[in-house]
């Protein structure tokens, strides 16, 4: 099954779809010969979606029982439903944001409609380094899942949430997830059907915050990708307040409160501004050693 979509001028397919993967070696998504492949568990069953840019069009291909569902949402997954109305005017509040809005004019915010797969990543990322998060996430996918339909080798479906919900916390320990995050992941998996049914960012956020172990950071990380929420700010992030405060005020260190104060002029688009700052590589000065990478299997 194949469909085509018209693309906006300067559309950045690589930058847009990068928001769907945890690193270059995400077991559930991969670039192969210029095609981005995404494996997913849809309401209609497992499926794989292929996306690539050809001229001014997005070419989408689907495999598996969930192919029709994925093709029906392909434009949203590729960020083509992202509404930038009014953002160029808001961006004029700061010269850097105005420049970034021009430099990254082709960047879009995807909206997958797939909550559990994004939450699996987010829970693995809680309070750890990126390397630790990737190791646990990849190990969990490979331990609990199966190969995705379609032609791509070593591409895996996200785990079935029912399988995760039924697992004991100690099954995750050898995979790099300690009991606190393992218990949180199992609670999220048990609520997966209700989370997938949330029609918008506000309802998803409210339901997530009612789950023990889920805070504003995890809820925002999910809302930003599941519903393409341009205002979702990952409060509680280790680096983001420093990045935003340095970019917008020249302050090398910041707090969540100060970050939100600086983002106030961009209400409705605060998450987009944060993403542009992160994409720009304008990191705050570093004063100390890097955090050590731990192996939770030894804890």
Residue-range domain boundaries for the chain: 2-82, 115-226, 240-280
Which homologous superfamily is 2-82 in?
Answer: DNA-3-methyladenine glycosylase AlkA, N-terminal domain (3.30.310.20)
CATH number for the domain running over 115-226: 1.10.340.30
Can you list the alpha helix ranges (DSSP code H) found in 62-155?
A: 67-72, 74-77, 87-91, 95-103, 115-125, 130-144
pTM of the model: 0.93
Residues of the chain with pLDDT under 70: 287-299
Report the alpha-carbon angle 184-111-93, nearest 5.
Answer: 105
Nearest alpha carbon to residue 20 among 2, 1, 40: 40
User: Phi, psi (5° rounding) for residue 60?
Assistant: -120, 140
Nearest alpha carbon to residue 118 among 59, 45, 204: 204
| Owner of token pair 């291909």 | 61
Contact indicator for 177, 161 with CB cutoff of 8 Å: no
């Amino acid at each position: 099954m194949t469909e085509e979509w018209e693309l906006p001028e300067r559309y950045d397919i690589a930058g847009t779809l990068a928001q769907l993967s945890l690193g270059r070696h995400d077991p559930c998504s991969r670039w192969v010969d210029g095609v981005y492949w995404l494996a997913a568990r849809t309401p209609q069953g497992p499926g794989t979606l292929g996306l690539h840019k050809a001229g001014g069009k997005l070419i989408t291909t689907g495999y598996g029982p969930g192919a029709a569902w994925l093709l029906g949402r392909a434009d949203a997954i590729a960020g083509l439903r992202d509404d930038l109305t009014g953002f160029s005017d808001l961006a004029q509040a700061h010269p850097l944001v105005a420049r970034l809005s021009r430099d990254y004019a082709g960047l879009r915010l995807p909206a997958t409609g797939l909550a559990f797969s994004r939450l699996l990543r987010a829970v693995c990322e809680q309070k750890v380094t990126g390397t630790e998060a990737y190791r646990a996430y990849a190990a969990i996918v490979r331990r609990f899942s199966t190969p995705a339909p379609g032609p791509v080798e070593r591409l895996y479906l996200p785990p079935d949430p029912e399988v995760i919900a039924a697992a004991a916390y100690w099954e995750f320990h050898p995979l790099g997830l300690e009991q606190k995050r393992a218990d949180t992941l199992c609670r999220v998996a048990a609520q997966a059907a209700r989370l997938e049914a949330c029609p918008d960012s506000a309802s998803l956020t409210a339901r997530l915050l009612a789950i023990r172990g889920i805070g504003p950071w995890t809820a925002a990380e999910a809302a930003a990708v599941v519903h393409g929420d341009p205002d979702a700010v990952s409060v509680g992030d280790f680096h983001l307040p420093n990045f935003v405060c340095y970019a917008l005020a020249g302050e090398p260190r910041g707090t969540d409160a100060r970050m939100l104060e600086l983002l106030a002029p961009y209400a409705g688009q605060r998450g987009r501004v944060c993403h542009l700052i992160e994409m720009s590589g304008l990191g705050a000065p570093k004063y100390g050693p890097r955090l050590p990478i731990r192996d939770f299997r030894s804890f």
